[in-house]
Chain A
């Protein structure tokens, strides 16, 4: 970090820009303030900072040249995919280079026999499934940002989606990576076989938030598209009962392809917004089942029965693709829908053991009264990943601070019941304080030691993901003002 920087003579800003231009050509480097503005933040727009310059390399050789240059002159480098991250992971460093992988957008190879796709890191998540579709295959992890987010960013964040209850996170669906270390060393991690010799660096790289290396190629696993997918909507007049129904489905040995829940406030907002036809109740559960025809039929009737015996006041099964889409529409629109009913909201992301769901929701309700701020709950119920949305108005003095404190208490509650401070959005800049709630200094020190094994001078994405041991300062999170979302074109989960 700064220690390394201070021992190296740092070139002037103009010098750095000229040198990078020589490496990347005029079209490969942005440095005028107006060109830098689009890169000042990622999906977490509460934090904005201009980088020294934005590098837009087109070849791995150019990436290597940029890293080599940065390494020699101790200049920080922040990798950026599509910038949809919600924890400030791709927030630029004012003295550093923002390395955009946007031009790495080619699908290099689809291997239908081995069921893999080899792609460049800037390829959008959804584009992989689109390219695999003619072979009857798809890429399972499906963050709601999938039309925009890059696979490189998915690897860096270990992204999940509705499908991950059954099909796993990014880490479960990777085969091989190519990375460049900060010294410009090109490494292949994993291979085309089910496992690779040596340590499981594929796991270590996944979710490392751009701190260990720059991902320049990704090979993912493809799965056969299931024969059939069908969704059930169940209505409950009590949130806790809906929570128990979730446990009952899983205890019955059924792993749904998606199991999502919304509470009254979220339902009402969604209904007003997209008119999905949701009932007016305390909670709804959406349960999607996929597999062979026979299996889906059997599981649909089993799940319907379970939901009824666990107190659902209404159970509907989508009868065709259009109805299935309508059931999901409200859930997918829940974030922007909440944005319409409140000037601002703050999206949290934490995971808890499923069995503590009812208890945690009750406690969030109590905190909501204590802080006098409403909360809409939208979550991946199947894997205990909560996204409470705290509604506030930044124009009211002190409300933002109260919201942040409330958010922090929710994450601490997640840790207290045996969960974690982030289920899928990453630590980035946003949750660096709460890292100190979940981990003790010895563990944080171990993280730093791992980081140093890859990047001894601490030049890759400095200041993110793992707090320095003496610093647990205040940082905020995803605040949405006047419903102006960072990525309004995306569906929200």
Chain B
């Protein structure tokens, strides 16, 4: 528990004055994401501590450096959870890094993404100004939504100091069913069932098997599992955690790992690649040495985009290129929050 707001603001102001870029880091777990930043390290790790947690309000507020694990343990003790199931990618993952990276786990299509749970935050903009947007209540439409804008901005629009997140009760019961399927069948089924009123909370395909997680009241889970059929997974929690943390054997491929977010019902992408499908079809992980342009084109044709996630070469852009007018707008937004361009410059795009 430590409040470093004053020091952090001072560091950012000094950087703004001298034009020296800062490289924000929390727990050092997502270093592989995005491009390296050349700049002075600004550690958020020690700016930590849960500030407010009221289980009956379904809200938790914590400083950015608070370990994700600490937050999850605290919630679990009250029968609650971060419903977007953020990946940790290591023991030291922090809340700030989680939000800045904007990553969500298997429950995302049903419960929502990281940004959907962001209620408000306190941040330092690139002038070192300490600003507060949003709040701790579920409904708030005062002013532009600058807190959700920070989610997935990879620290290029502000240093997140504190965040208030909506939390949800843990489901009473969970069960995971496993069925042997082809890729095309799995995609069909995930989307058929996605349109039915079923208590689904996970749907993933590993190349051989379709995994369906059901969550909710015990009777409802039982009824749905009779309807869907399949073998009950013996250790479902471990399976979904290893999926989320990229510990399944698929992720041991040494080829570049691509994250393709697409319209969920898109047919198989048909690229020469090992593949794992999550989010009921909306997320296709590819381990592939195909040219980046080819993968990006396929993903775009399926309504989405492709991120080079791991094992990329230096020369390939990590994030899907933005059309020129969109990039120009991004640059103007970046300048409005960080006029000197000192916060994680180049981490997402060289122009930001």
Interfacial residues, chain A to chain B (CB-CB below 8 A): 111-115, 135-137, 157-158, 160, 164-165, 168-169, 171-172, 181, 185, 187, 191-201, 203-204, 206-208, 212, 224-227, 247-248, 250-251, 253-255, 291-295, 297-299, 351-355, 380, 383-385, 418-427, 431, 435, 438-440, 442-443, 446-447, 449-454, 465-466
Q: Are A384 and B138 in contact (CB under 8 A)?
A: yes
Q: Are B319 and A168 in contact (CB under 8 A)?
A: no
- B127 → chain A, closest Cβ, in Å? 9
Q: Are B56 and A418 in contact (CB under 8 A)?
A: no
Q: A165-B138, A292-B223 are in contact. Are A195 and B336 (CB under 8 A)?
A: no
Q: Are B264 and A355 in contact (CB under 8 A)?
A: no
A-B contact pairs, 15 of them (CB 8 A): A114-B303, A158-B141, A187-B329, A193-B304, A224-B194, A293-B220, A383-B137, A384-B137, A385-B138, A419-B135, A424-B141, A427-B141, A446-B125, A450-B144, A454-B329
Q: Are B332 and A355 in contact (CB under 8 A)?
A: no
- List chain A residues, Cβ under 8 A from B136: 353, 418
Query: Could you say which of B217, B261, B307, B325 contacts A185, with CB atoms under 8 Å apart?
Result: B325
Interfacial residues, chain B to chain A (CB-CB below 8 A): 54-59, 79, 102, 108-109, 112-113, 115-116, 125, 129-133, 135-146, 148-149, 151-153, 157, 168-170, 172, 191, 194-199, 216-220, 222-224, 261-265, 279, 282-283, 299, 302-305, 307, 319-322, 325-326, 329-330, 332-333, 335-337, 348-349
Which chain B residue shows the least CB distance to A212? B144
Q: Are A353 and B57 in contact (CB under 8 A)?
A: yes
Query: Could you say which of B130, B197, B319 contacts A197, with CB atoms under 8 Å apart?
Result: B319
Query: Could you say which of A137, A168, A351, A435 contacts B137, with CB atoms under 8 Å apart?
Result: A351
- A450 → chain B, closest Cβ, in Å? 5
Query: Could you say which of B144, B330, B335 contacts A207, with CB atoms under 8 Å apart?
Result: B144
Q: Are B56 and A354 in contact (CB under 8 A)?
A: yes
Q: CA A298 – CA B216 in complex, angstroms?
A: 11
Q: CA A206 – CA B305 in complex, angstroms?
A: 22
- A87 → chain B, closest Cβ, in Å? 9
- A285 → chain B, closest Cβ, in Å? 15
Q: CA A160 – CA B56 in complex, angstroms?
A: 21
Which chain B residue shows the least CB distance to A206? B145
- B106 → chain A, closest Cβ, in Å? 12
Q: CA A425 – CA B224 in complex, angstroms?
A: 39
Q: CA A249 – CA B109 in complex, angstroms?
A: 25
Which chain A residue shows the least CB distance to B218? A298
- B262 → chain A, closest Cβ, in Å? 5
Q: CA A433 – CA B172 in complex, angstroms?
A: 45
Q: CA A185 – CA B329 in complex, angstroms?
A: 10
Query: Could you say which of B56, B142, B199, B303 contacts A247, with CB atoms under 8 Å apart?
Result: B56
Query: Could you say which of B169, B264, B282, B335 contacts A254, with CB atoms under 8 Å apart?
Result: B169
- List chain B residues, Cβ under 8 A from A255: 168-169
Q: CA A58 – CA B178 in complex, angstroms?
A: 51
Q: Are A384 and B139 in contact (CB under 8 A)?
A: yes
Which chain A residue shows the least CB distance to B192? A113
Which chain A residue shows the least CB distance to B170? A253
Q: A294-B220, A297-B219 are in contact. Are A194 and B109 (CB under 8 A)?
A: yes
Which chain B residue shows the least CB distance to A208? B144
Q: CA A196 – CA B302 in complex, angstroms?
A: 12
Q: Are B115 and A224 in contact (CB under 8 A)?
A: no
Q: Are A446 and B115 in contact (CB under 8 A)?
A: no
- B350 → chain A, closest Cβ, in Å? 13
Q: CA A251 – CA B168 in complex, angstroms?
A: 10
Q: Are B142 and A226 in contact (CB under 8 A)?
A: no
Q: Are B305 and A193 in contact (CB under 8 A)?
A: yes
Interface centre among A200, A212, A442 (most CB of B within 10 A): A200
Q: Are B142 and A115 in contact (CB under 8 A)?
A: no
Which chain B residue shows the least CB distance to A115? B195
Q: A294-B223, A418-B135 are in contact. Are A423 and B141 (CB under 8 A)?
A: yes
Q: A136-B196, A384-B139, A422-B141 are in contact. Are A199 and B223 (CB under 8 A)?
A: no
Q: CA A355 – CA B302 in complex, angstroms?
A: 45
Q: Are B336 and A295 in contact (CB under 8 A)?
A: no
Which chain A residue shows the least CB distance to B296? A197
Interface centre among B262, B329, B333 (most CB of A within 10 A): B329
Interface centre among B109, B217, B302, B335 (most CB of A within 10 A): B217
